[in-house]
Structure 1
Amino acid sequence: MKSIRTASVVASAVVLALVTALPGSAHGGHGGGGHGHHPFDPGTVSFTLDGTVLDGGEQVTSVTLDLDRLPGIRAASVDPSAFTVQAVGRLPEGVATGGPSDVVFDVDRTVTDVEVTRGGDVRLSLAAGAGAGTLQYLPEGRNVLLDLDYTIAQDEPIELRNGREVTVERFRQGDLRDPEVDAFARGTTRDGLKYRLYEPARTRGDRPLVVWLHGNGEGGLPGVYQNEAQLRANRGALGFTTREAQRIFGGAYVVAPQVPDTWYNADEAGYREQLRTLVAELSRTYDIDQSRIHVAGASAGGLMSIELVAAYPTTFASLVSVAPAITLFRDPTYRTDAEEVSRLADTPTWFIHSRDDATVPYDRSSVWAHDLLPDSLITLYDSVEWDEQTYPGHFSWIYLAQNDPMTADGTSVWRWMSQQMREGP
C-alpha cells in the first residue's frame, strides 16, 4: 500500500556528538544481511508517525525511529526522558484559516514508553491529549486531515550491548502510517465520487459487501476533497474490517465513499444514483455476492442509508441506521417522510441511537422510523460510554463499530447482518 503522505521538512534534533564511532560491520538496511555496505549513519535517522483510529478519532499514538541498522540496542537503557517530541498541525491547502495563521496546534508530546521492536527499530509511545489528533473539526462542520510536522530531539545517548553509546543528530519525518486505514485502497467512480475500499483476505468465491456511509462531519468542502476523514474520524468503517467482523461475515468487502459536500444534497446532486453506480462498478470488478450487499450509516449517513434503500428497495440485504438525521434539534424539519420510510419494509432494518443525543432527537428519528416498520429492530442506549470513556450522545456509532447491539436472543448486530440475504426478484 502506498503511503498517504511524505513530510517535506527535516526535523532537527538537539545536535549531540557521536560518543563512539560504530564498527564498520554495522548492519545493512532491511534484509541487508549485515554485509556492512551501508553502515548506520548516526547523523540523520528517519521516523514514521504511527496513527491509530480510536473511538473518538485518529491520533498519532507513537513514532517509530528507523534504527534497525543500529546493532544491539539495549532496550533497558533507553528511557522515555531521552527524547523530546514536538508536534505542529497545520490546516491543509485550500482551507480558509479565518485568521493570520494556519497552525492548529504547536505542542510538546509526552513520551510515555520506549520499545525496541523485533525489527530493531525504536518506538516512542505518546500520551493522548491536545495535539495528538490527525484531524481538525472546522467551523463549517467538517473534519480535515492536517499537515503534521513532528520534531524529535535525542537528549540522552542510546547504549548498545557492546557498551558503546550513540546519539542521533537529526531525525527526518517520514509517512503517517495507520495499518487499518492503509488497508483501504483509493478509488473514484465514473461520476467522480471518491471512495476507499477494503478487500477481504479470503477472496475465493463471492463475498458480501458492506457500504459504510459517513456522517456530515466527514464530507468534503470546496477545494478540500481528501478521501480521508470517513476512515479517520471514527471506527464506523474500520469496525467491519476487524478480525472479528471478517470472521463473522466470512470475509467481506467494505467500501466507504466520501461525499464531496453533504449527503443532505442528495436530491440536487443525485447521490442516491451515484451510490448505486458505485455498487454496480464494484460488482463488475470484484467477486461480490449480489444477495449480500449491506448498507450502514451514521447521522447524515444514517439518513442517506434510509434514502438509498428506499430508492433501491430490492438491492440491499440489510440496513443499519445509526442516529439517522431524519430531523435535528436545531432544525425540526423532517428530511424524509412516512411514505419513503415504508419502502424499507422488505429490507431487514436495525436502528441504533442514544437517548442523550443532543444533535438528533432519538424519539423523532429512530423511534419514529422504527414505529413505521413493525418488523424492524431498534437498540436504544441511555448514553455513549466505552472503555471507561464517555462520549457525546450523538456518537452512538461507537456501539456499532464495537458490535455491541444485540437482539433479544443474543445475536450481535454484525452476526445479524451476516445472516441476511436478499432473495432474487
Structure 2
Amino acid sequence: MSSLMPGSVSGVLTAASGLTYLVFVPKSWSAASTGAKHPMLLFLHGAGGVNNPENVLGQSLMRMLTQPDYADKVNTIVVAPIAPKRPWQPHLEKAVELMDGLAGELGGDEKRISLAGQSMGGNGAWSLAALYPGKFCSLAPVCGYIEGGREGAGVPSGFDLGRIAHVPTWVFHAADDSVVGVGCSDAAVEGLEDLGAPEVKYTRYAEGRAPPCKTKAGDLPGHASYELAFREEAFWPWLESKTL
C-alpha cells in the first residue's frame, strides 16, 4: 500500500477475495509508520454503486473525500468496498474480511472501527451491525432500512435490535425521501429508544438535498440525504471519539 497518497482516495483496488474497493487514508497517515493506529470507517454504498466504482467515487462521502478542504479534517481510514450485485447481505463477510486485512496493513485501530452506509448500504449497515454485534464502535445508517421493512411499517419481527442497542448510533433520513420512506428510520430509532439504548442520535431532515438525486432511473426526490449527513459539522468528531 506504499502507493497510497495521504489525504486522498485510492484508485480501484482488488482484494484477495475478488472484492474491489476504494480506500481513503488521512493526511496524517504514513506508509512508513503504521503504528499510529487510526480510527477506521467501513462505508457501504447505495444501489447505484453496484459494480460501479465511478458512481461511488462520484457522489456522497467518497467524492467529499477527494476535496482537500473536506479531507483535511478527517483523521479516519475509510474503506469502501464495491458490491458486485444487489443486495449487500451476500457480500458482508467479505467486506469485514477486507476491512480487517486493511486494519493490519494500514495501521487501523481495531477498537475504533465504525460502520456507515446509505440507502441499500444503510440496509447493509443495519444487517452487518447485527451480524457482528461486538465489532463496531459506532453505526451511522443514512436513508436506510432494515431488511424486510423498506415500506416503513416498523422493524421486521425477525430483526433483533437488541443485538445492536449498545452501539452508539446516529441515524439520518429526509422526511420527503421518495425511495426509502422515512418511516424506516423512525421505526428503527423508536425501537432502539424503547430498548433503552444509551446513545441514539437522529437527524431527520425536512427535505433531502436539492436538486433531486439523479440516477439512470431518473430523479429521486428527497433521497440524497447522504449529501447532507456526511457534511454535518459534528459527524467526524462524533465518530472519531468512539471506541470499544
TM-score range, shorter chain: 0.7 to 0.9
Matches within 5 A, 1:58-207: 183-203=9-29, 204=33, 205-207=36-38
Matches within 5 A, 1:251-400: 251-264=75-88, 266=89, 269=90, 271-326=91-146, 327-329=149-151, 337=157, 339-363=159-183, 365-374=184-193, 375-385=199-209, 389=211, 392-400=221-229
**AA aligned opposite 1:256:** A
Change over 3 Å in CA distance of 1:354–1:290 after alignment to 2: same
**AA aligned opposite 2:225:** S
Contact preservation (8 Å) 2:153, 2:187: no
- What is the CA distance between 1:218 and its match in structure 2? 1.1
**AA aligned opposite 1:289:** D
Aligned equivalents of 2:40, 2:14: Cα separation in 1: 17
Partner of 1:416: 238
Tell whether 2:32 aligns with 1:213: no
Tell whether 2:64 aligns with 1:239: yes
Q: Secondary structure at the match of 1:196?
A: strand
Aligned-pair identity in percent equals 26
- What is the CA distance between 1:390 and its match in structure 2? 5.5
Contact preservation (8 Å) 2:180, 2:223: yes
Aligned equivalents of 1:338, 1:244: Cα separation in 2: 43
Larger radius of gyration: 1
Higher helix share: 2
Change over 3 Å in CA distance of 1:324–1:259 after alignment to 2: same
**Count of residue pairs brought into register by the alignment:** 221
- What is the CA distance between 1:246 and its match in structure 2? 4.8
- What is the CA distance between 1:312 and its match in structure 2? 1.0
TM-score, L = length of structure 1: 0.48
Tell whether 2:237 aligns with 1:401: no
Change over 3 Å in CA distance of 1:238–1:373 after alignment to 2: same
Contact preservation (8 Å) 1:241, 1:254: no
Q: Secondary structure at the match of 1:373?
A: helix
Q: Secondary structure at the match of 2:223?
A: coil
Aligned equivalents of 1:238, 1:341: Cα separation in 2: 31
**AA aligned opposite 1:229:** N
**AA aligned opposite 1:238:** R
Aligned equivalents of 2:138, 2:10: Cα separation in 1: 23
Aligned equivalents of 2:144, 2:228: Cα separation in 1: 14
Change over 3 Å in CA distance of 1:275–1:258 after alignment to 2: same
Q: Secondary structure at the match of 1:294?
A: strand
Runs of 4+ in 1 over 4 A off after TM superposition: 240-249, 332-338
Aligned equivalents of 1:215, 1:260: Cα separation in 2: 12
Contact preservation (8 Å) 1:218, 1:229: yes
**AA aligned opposite 2:222:** G
**AA aligned opposite 1:314:** G
Contact preservation (8 Å) 2:212, 2:224: no
Contact preservation (8 Å) 2:9, 2:66: no
Contact preservation (8 Å) 1:313, 1:343: yes
Q: Deviations over 1:364-407 (max 9, x none)?
A: x1011111112311111111246xx4552111111123225xxx
Tell me the C-alpha RMSD between the 2 structures: 2.8
Contact preservation (8 Å) 2:119, 2:142: yes
Q: Secondary structure at the match of 1:228?
A: helix
**AA aligned opposite 2:122:** G
Change over 3 Å in CA distance of 1:291–1:380 after alignment to 2: same
- Higher RCO, Cα 8 Å, sep 6+: 2
Aligned equivalents of 1:390, 1:285: Cα separation in 2: 39
Aligned equivalents of 1:403, 1:297: Cα separation in 2: 15
- What is the CA distance between 1:325 and its match in structure 2? 3.1
Point out where structure 2 has 5 or more consecutive residues left out of the alignment.
194-198, 214-220
Change over 3 Å in CA distance of 1:421–1:383 after alignment to 2: same
TM-score, L = length of structure 2: 0.80
Point out where structure 1 has 5 or more consecutive residues left out of the alignment.
1-178, 221-225, 405-411
Change over 3 Å in CA distance of 1:371–1:338 after alignment to 2: farther
Partner of 1:23: none
Contact preservation (8 Å) 2:64, 2:71: no
**AA aligned opposite 1:377:** K
